[in-house]
Structure 1
Amino acid sequence: MAFYLDDTQRKTLVRLSASWTWRTEWPTWALIVTIYGSWFGVAYHARSLGLPLTTALLALLSTWYMSLQHELLHGHPTRSRFFNGLLGFAPLAVWFPYGIYRDLHLRHHDDVHLTRPEHDPESYFVSAEVWQRAGTATRILLRFRNTFVGRLLAGPAFAIAATASDAVRKVGRGDWRDVPLWLAHGASVGALAWWLQTVCAIPAWLFVLGVGYTALSLSSIRSFQEHRAAEAVEHRTVLNETGTFWRLLFLNNNYHAVHHDLPHVPWFALRNVYETSRQQYVERSGGFLVSGYSEWVRRYAFASVAHPVYGDLSGSVQSNPRASGIFAGKSWVKFMIVVRRGELREADLPATAERQTAGQAL
């Protein structure tokens, strides 16, 4: 369901949707041709390019392809779910059937339950029950996953394991509906791996690990703290003002709060929608604003962005330093602050106090 900032924005988007660019979605069609042509072109010339460069280029193109799959499942460039599924069926990124990814991601768009591990399939939190059952090694890995480096290295493995275990549990419950998707995906991965190895001299293992796993890792750059746990639903999704390269690679999905409000808006229009109403979106997100992915690297390369347990504050208050400067003296931010063990207290703090310790703020 779309959320418009005001009636003016709604009317503007209705008018834009009638434009030739939006009706034909020619930028998305051009993107499809570019990604497929580049991917198979690079693979075919692997012998002359060499395996290291070929692997790097295919991983980058597979990451771009995953961004395209995200666009396809949201109804672009056609309104046909079946036809878009055909466009996104090829296993260029190896690991997940398009249909499985589509269904899980659309569940993720239930914003009321965003970040809640029992409802959001893309949450990087776990429930207190899961944490209690986890052994020491698993807890270390979960903490590591919530660092930037850990998300890139271990995040894909967690995603693969979670998706596979979910598929097995479904079959165990007698739910075989996804089995044809997995069988078709497995067959297509096998066929593509055979072609790459016999025609292009790219080993199957390199395709699966060097291309597929690396593509998932690169995609994890975008999704790192893409959402945070917050009381207000609209404060849970980030606005990331990154550079041109990353905007193109992720198809403007860095303006993620805009995408969640307006999932029907095509990728090529998201930046303009955001910049037209930037101040309103920053306010709506509760100041959840990031100045590019390098900011996450600087702050969270080896530091955990949040405790793995959903709702666990671990005695600290997370803040957004950049947002503090923007809204100083203009807004109030509500935090849950640990007063003493086992007790939580709400406090309304001025934005200038966001970076104070809990003790100072109280």
Structure 2
Amino acid sequence: MPAEDRPGQHPAVPPRGPLPRRIEGLTLVVAAAIYAGFGALTWFHEILPWWVMLPIGAYLVAWHGSLQHEVTHGHPTPSALANELLVLPSLWLWIPFRLYRETHLAHHNDAQLTDPLADPESYYLDAASWAKTGPLTRALLRAHNTLAGRIVLGPLRCLMLFYRGEIARAFGGDLSHARAWAIHALGVTLVLAWVMGICQMPLWQYLVLFVYPGISLSLVRSFLEHQARPEVSERSVIIEAGPLMSLLFLNNNLHLVHHDKPGLPWYRIPAFYRQRRALFLASNGGYYYKGYSEVFRRYFLRAKEQPLHPSATA
């Protein structure tokens, strides 16, 4: 097998991902389904019970987040502008797409994967940061490393850390993110004009039934995505999810495959994985789960690991 097809041989990631040579129709179908479902759910919100709106609203918002992830890697058209416009409406409101793209592509530097000082998507703490925390913060961080804690506390922690950093940047005189925020403001305006202006849904209801649970559902995917290990190929998980969760995450549950082939479109990941399944499972040191039911069963109330990065205790 060529070296580029072997798990653990990670290619360098271009700044914005490789652009496809043709339009990827299946991804456009996903986008159409997300926006059509979102439009229908918000339009009929007055006649739908909350217990219907919450799971469907959360699914649609998290699914849109998965679509944004595809766009960060240059899908689904040869036009970077068209791709960005496809995800301009910010269903989950909280992060500018351009800043997400910047941090996510930095996360694909696999040599620094999980390093709390270099990986912008790491959930670990370095020794200095850990030493500054008090007993209450440590307890919250340990709770955050349970799946229940990640669902309940995770969105709040994401918002707090992200906005604290952006406010500090702005007050420090760094306005390099101003354009990204201006574009994001347009995307948020489009969503809220529809939700609040046309559909007459109260903002609090949208935040409670769509935004917060949608972010929580996205964090279910990232909960076990990475672990700190010396071998790069052992840092990314394989979760053989069922069709509902695989579609929600656009097959990013097969996360080692994505890190091996970050430019591979979502609908080609399962076949690529099946062809090399034994090699992938051999290469990642057994970091594998049969599905999200196993993840919930094992970690809903039990921490998957300690928040302190293992290198800090070595």
> What TM-score, normalized to structure 2?
0.89
Indicate conservation of the 8 Å contact 1:73/1:81, yes or no. Answer: no
Alpha-carbon distance in structure 2 between the residues aligned to 1:112 and 1:54: 41
Is structure 2 residue 196 aligned with structure 1 residue 180? no
Alpha-carbon distance in structure 2 between the residues aligned to 1:171 and 1:201: 33
- Partner of 2:115, secondary structure, is coil
Q: Which residue of 1 aligns with 2:4?
A: 4
Q: Which residue of 2 aligns with 1:59?
A: 58
More strand, by proportion = 1
Counterparts of 1:1-362 in structure 2, within 5 Å, are 4-6=4-6, 23-311=22-310
Indicate conservation of the 8 Å contact 1:229/1:236, yes or no. Answer: yes
- The Cα offsets for residues 275-303 of structure 1, whole Å up to 9 and x where unpaired, read as 01100111111221111112222221221
Alpha-carbon distance in structure 2 between the residues aligned to 1:44 and 1:3: 51
Report the alpha carbon displacement of residue 313 of structure 1 after superposing the two structures with TM.
8.8
Alpha-carbon distance in structure 2 between the residues aligned to 1:57 and 1:3: 42
Q: Which residue of 1 aligns with 2:10?
A: none
- In the alignment, residue 106 of structure 1 is paired with which amino acid? L
Alpha-carbon distance in structure 2 between the residues aligned to 1:59 and 1:225: 20
- In the alignment, residue 284 of structure 1 is paired with which amino acid? S
Alpha-carbon distance in structure 1 between the residues aligned to 2:35 and 2:79: 20
Alpha-carbon distance in structure 2 between the residues aligned to 1:300 and 1:221: 11
Alpha-carbon distance in structure 2 between the residues aligned to 1:192 and 1:242: 31
- Partner of 1:24, secondary structure, is coil
Unpaired runs of at least 5, structure 2: 7-19
Higher deviation after alignment, 141-150 or 181-190: 181-190
Alpha-carbon distance in structure 1 between the residues aligned to 2:181 and 2:142: 31
Alpha-carbon distance in structure 2 between the residues aligned to 1:216 and 1:59: 8
- The Cα offsets for residues 171-204 of structure 1, whole Å up to 9 and x where unpaired, read as 2332201123224424542453243224323111
Unpaired runs of at least 5, structure 1: 7-20, 315-343, 345-362
- In the alignment, residue 253 of structure 1 is paired with which amino acid? N
- In the alignment, residue 240 of structure 2 is paired with which amino acid? E
Higher deviation after alignment, 292-301 or 99-108: 292-301
Indicate conservation of the 8 Å contact 2:21/2:77, yes or no. Answer: no
Residue correspondences, number: 302
Indicate conservation of the 8 Å contact 1:152/1:217, yes or no. Answer: yes
Indicate conservation of the 8 Å contact 1:3/1:261, yes or no. Answer: no
Alpha-carbon distance in structure 2 between the residues aligned to 1:287 and 1:133: 34
Alpha-carbon distance in structure 2 between the residues aligned to 1:309 and 1:261: 26
> What TM-score, normalized to structure 1?
0.78
- In the alignment, residue 5 of structure 1 is paired with which amino acid? D
Indicate conservation of the 8 Å contact 1:63/1:215, yes or no. Answer: yes
Indicate conservation of the 8 Å contact 2:126/2:312, yes or no. Answer: no
What is the alpha-carbon root mean square deviation over aligned residues? 2.3
Q: Which structure has the larger Rg over C-alpha atoms?
A: 1
| Alpha-carbon spacing, 1:176–1:37, altered in 2? closer, same or farther (3 Å) | same
Identity %: 35
- The Cα offsets for residues 197-255 of structure 1, whole Å up to 9 and x where unpaired, read as 24323111121232111101001111111100001111100011111111111110011
Alpha-carbon distance in structure 2 between the residues aligned to 1:88 and 1:69: 6
- In the alignment, residue 105 of structure 1 is paired with which amino acid? H
Report the alpha carbon displacement of residue 76 of structure 1 after superposing the two structures with TM.
0.7
Alpha-carbon distance in structure 1 between the residues aligned to 2:208 and 2:90: 13
Indicate conservation of the 8 Å contact 2:226/2:235, yes or no. Answer: yes
